A and B are shown apart, each in its own frame.
Chain A
Amino acid sequence: MIDRYVRRRAVDTAFRAACALATILALIPLGLVLYYVTVRGIGGINLAFFTELPKPVGEEGGGMANAIVGTLKLVALACVIGIPPGVLAGVYLAEFGHNRFGQVVRFSADVMAGIPSITVGIFVYTLVVMHTKEFSAIAGGIALAVLMLPTVTRTTEELLRLVPAALHEAALGLGVPKWRATLRVVLRTAAPGIATGVMLAVARVAGETAPLLFTAFNNRFWAEGLDEPTASLPVQIYTYAVSPYEDWHRQAWAAALVLVVLVLLLNVTARFVVRHRVRLR
């Protein structure tokens, strides 16, 4: 008896140690990335970085104000274009998708989630840019929205399925039409989870470079409207990082830090807002 107990304890300890080790291993890259980006990027952060436009080649200083605003613009556009159809498609799959068509949609979404982002860039290039004859924020927003769509759809569906059927029935039992019960009871109950899923999709898309190269392109000046080439942090980081100038490298690191912080902030605020608005004390 004692012997088996000792053995079980030993196995337990070993497994726990292994799990802890694996967790640490998984966290190392994250920690290193954050550490390295902070160390290298913090030096390039100053007021000018946030308020000024890039200086002409050869001149020191300047900032990335246009790229920061551009990224926010592109992400906002992607949200406006991508979230409503994504959420509604998820609602469709969860509520009415128990048929052949639902299976096809679900499968397509899964396939779409695996499409390389550069392909999406080329797709939107041929679809939008070739027709408007101009790189634009709209094209960039569409590309990012297409990338978000499958994630948003599938997350919404999964989370709606987690809402107990009893709640749906309770609403139907009160004589509430199905569509209203779905929107105001089921969707609302799942809202915190869906918002988290959507935020993850947004965060992923905010750092995309490849699809923007073909759509929003880049701009060293302010983009006035949504129909001209628009700068964004990822593309700017790429452009500066491959340049031969030391000052640009410094700014690329700073931009990387800003991008990471931006995504982090987006995530934290969304979680905070959703938790406090939807959940009751």
Chain B
Amino acid sequence: MSVQTQVTLPTNFVSTEERSDPASAGSDPLNPGVEYEIETSAPTSAGIKTKAPAKMRAQDLRAYFGATEVIKGITMPVLDKKVTAIIGPSGCGKSTFIRCLNRMHEVTPGSRATGSVMLESQDIYGRDVDPVRVRRRVGMVFQKPNPFPTMSIRDNVLAGLRLNGIKVRDPDALVERCLQQVALWDEVKDSLHRSGASLSGGQQQRLCIARCLSLEPEVLLMDEPCSALDPIATARVEELIHGLRKSYTIVIVTHNMQQAARVANYTAFFYLGQLIEFNKTDVIFTRPREQRTEDYVTGRFG
């Protein structure tokens, strides 16, 4: 794979064989003839240019549990310093897909992935890549809040660094900064030594996000981060995402289409392990190209 930071979108969308084919340029390989409306720029022979560079891009990514293929060849970019939402009905491979983006998928026994995922210029599925290093650059927030129950709130924030044996010069400042970032500081500043498990669900999830941020990841993957939270806690996490998108590239899987509409710049619609449509969020929700997308976002199925 060539090194590209300022990416030309359609080039990234089209798999290697199709790249030379001018007819498919500017279109989704899965949905020939569909053009993307991304950061409009004059179309060239190579397709449509975007000003937004891709931080990551999946190329013909396939993921398996045993013999079952759950991700059936997905090619899509994750744009830098943008929020990308992934929507789709249960079992469509949303979670599996983002777990592939930091090599967490293969942690499940019997599962594997093929294809490539570029993180800037590096294929994270490359031969010499250490998945542990990838996960430090691409952080993950899980569906259920999972603070470490044996650690205090403070130690939870520092866990990523401590468990990796990294010395922190000023741990107190780091804890404060990370908890400020997730708007949890004022609620817990007097009880930093209490167990992380003593917090409410919403607070726990924000603590988990803070724990992730302490490692200063380049990309933040969020796997339905609000599905275990009540509407108030959900609103707080969403506010948080709004704040974070200035400095982080975020991918969020969500079952909640309003949430996608509220937080995401770009939205991808998955169905049965395939990418049906990827576009700016407002396009997906107001004038999708695909009938299936329209049916899903209008609530006619799924």
Binding site for B on A (CB under 8 A): 98, 164, 166-167, 169-177, 180-181, 184-185, 188-189, 191, 278-281
Between A and B, 26 residue pairs with Cβ closer than 8 Å are: A98-B109, A166-B144, A167-B146, A169-B104, A169-B142, A170-B146, A170-B147, A170-B148, A170-B208, A170-B211, A171-B159, A172-B104, A172-B107, A173-B140, A174-B135, A174-B160, A174-B163, A175-B136, A176-B163, A185-B148, A188-B150, A189-B148, A189-B149, A280-B151, A280-B193, A280-B195
Asked if B132 is an interface residue, CB under 8 A from chain A, the answer is: yes
Q: Which of chain B's residues have a CB closer than 8 A to the CB of A170?
A: 142, 146-148, 208, 211
CA distance A184 to B158 in the complex (A): 13
Q: Is the CB of B146 within 8 A of A166?
A: yes
SS class of chain A's interface: helix, strand, loop or mixed? Answer: helix
Which chain B residues in 107-142 approach chain A with CB under 8 Å? 107, 109, 132-137, 139-140, 142
CA distance A278 to B195 in the complex (A): 11
Residue of B nearest to A172 (CB): B107
Taking A169-B107, A170-B142, A280-B195 as contacts, is the C-beta distance between A175 and B150 under 8 angstroms? no
- Determine the interface band of chain B, counting residues with CB < 8 A from chain A: 20 to 34
Which chain B residues in 144-181 approach chain A with CB under 8 Å? 144, 146-152, 159-160, 163-164
CA distance A278 to B151 in the complex (A): 9
> Total number of A-B contacts with CB less than 8 angstroms?
79
Q: Which of chain B's residues have a CB closer than 8 A to the CB of A181?
A: 163
CA distance A124 to B275 in the complex (A): 64
Q: Which of chain A's residues have a CB closer than 8 A to the CB of B208?
A: 170
Asked if B194 is an interface residue, CB under 8 A from chain A, the answer is: yes
Q: Is the CB of A173 within 8 A of B135?
A: yes
Q: Which of chain A's residues have a CB closer than 8 A to the CB of B135?
A: 172-175
Q: Is the CB of A173 within 8 A of B195?
A: no
Asked if B102 is an interface residue, CB under 8 A from chain A, the answer is: yes
Q: Which of chain A's residues have a CB closer than 8 A to the CB of B148?
A: 167, 170-171, 185, 189
Q: Is the CB of A174 within 8 A of B107?
A: no
Least CB distance from A92 to B in Å reads 15
CA distance A185 to B148 in the complex (A): 7
Q: Is the CB of B144 within 8 A of A174?
A: no
CA distance A184 to B194 in the complex (A): 19
Residue of A nearest to B149 (CB): A189
CA distance A194 to B211 in the complex (A): 27
Least CB distance from B150 to A in Å reads 5
Residue of B nearest to A174 (CB): B160
Asked if B85 is an interface residue, CB under 8 A from chain A, the answer is: no
CA distance A164 to B160 in the complex (A): 18
CA distance A215 to B139 in the complex (A): 55
> Residues 198-242 of chain B: 1 if any A CB is under 8 Å from the residue's CB, otherwise 0?
100000000010011001000000000000000000000000000
Residue of B nearest to A171 (CB): B163
Q: Which of chain A's residues have a CB closer than 8 A to the CB of B107?
A: 169, 172
Q: Which of chain A's residues have a CB closer than 8 A to the CB of B134?
A: 175
